Amino acid sequence: MSQTKYIFVTGGVTSSLGKGIIAASLAKLLQARGYRTTIQKLDPYINVDPGTLNPYEHGECYVTDDGAETDLDLGHYERFLNVRTSQANNVTTGRIYQSVIEKERRGEFLGKTVQVVPHITNEIKERIQILGKSGDYDIIITEIGGTVGDIESLPYIEAVRQLLWELGEHNGIVVHLTLVPFLSAAGELKTKPTQHSVKTLMESGIKADILVCRTEHEISEDIKEKLALFCNVKKEAVIQSIDASTIYDVPLMMQEEGLDAVTLEKLALPNNTEPNLDQWKEFLERHKNPKNKVTIGLIGKYVELQDSYKSILEAFIHAGAANEVKVEVRSIHSEHLSAKNIDKKLMGLDGILVAPGFGERGIEGKVMAVRYARENNVPFLGICLGMQMAVIEFARNVLGMDKANSTEMDKDTAYPVISLMEEQKSITDMGGTMRLGAWDCHLKENSLVEKVYGSADIAERHRHRYEFNNAYKQQMEEAGLMASGFNPKTGLVEVVEIPSHPWFIGVQYHPEYKSTVANPHPLFVGFVKAVLVQKQKQKNASLA
* Binding site, annotated residues for ATP: 16-21, 73, 244
Catalytic residue among 231, 384, 393, 497: 384
Where is the binding site for CTP, in residues? 15, 150-152, 190-195, 226
Catalytic residue among 119, 287, 510, 521: 510
Where is the binding site for L-glutamine, in residues? 56, 357, 385-388, 408, 465
Catalytic residue among 60, 158, 494, 512: 512
Rounded distance, CA 104 to CA 102, Å? 5
Rounded distance, CA 64 to CA 514, Å? 9
Q: Give the count of beta carbons closer than 10 Å to the beta carbon of residue 159.
A: 27
Rounded distance, CA 380 to CA 352, Å? 5
**Is 512 labeled as catalytic in the residue annotation?**
yes
Where is the binding site for UTP, in residues? 15, 190-195, 226
Q: Give the count of beta carbons closer than 10 Å to the beta carbon of residue 427.
A: 13
Count of H helices and E strands in the chain? 18, 23
CB 284 within 8 A of CB 249: yes
Q: Measured on CA atoms in the order 9, 13, 16, 17, is the torsion positive or negative?
A: negative
Strands (E), 305-434: 325-333, 351-354, 380-383, 405-406, 416-419
Rounded distance, CA 300 to CA 365, Å? 9
Intra-chain end-to-end CA distance of the chain, in Å: 66
Q: Closest Cα partner for 36 from 158, 141, 192?
A: 141
Where is the binding site for Mg(2+), in residues? 73, 143
- CA-atom Rg of the chain in angstroms: 25
Q: What is the 3-state secondary structure (H, E, C) of 452-464?
A: HHCCCEEEEEEEE
Q: Give the count of beta carbons closer than 10 Å to the beta carbon of residue 403.
A: 11
Q: Is 456 helix (H, G, I), strand (E, B) or coil?
A: coil
Where is the binding site, in residues? 15-21, 56, 73, 143, 150-152, 190-195, 226, 244, 357, 385-388, 408, 465
CB 145 within 8 A of CB 71: yes
Q: Is 361 helix (H, G, I), strand (E, B) or coil?
A: coil
Report the interhelical angle of 385-397 vs 363-375 (nearest 10°): 70
**Is 126 labeled as catalytic in the residue annotation?**
no
List the catalytic residues.
384, 510, 512
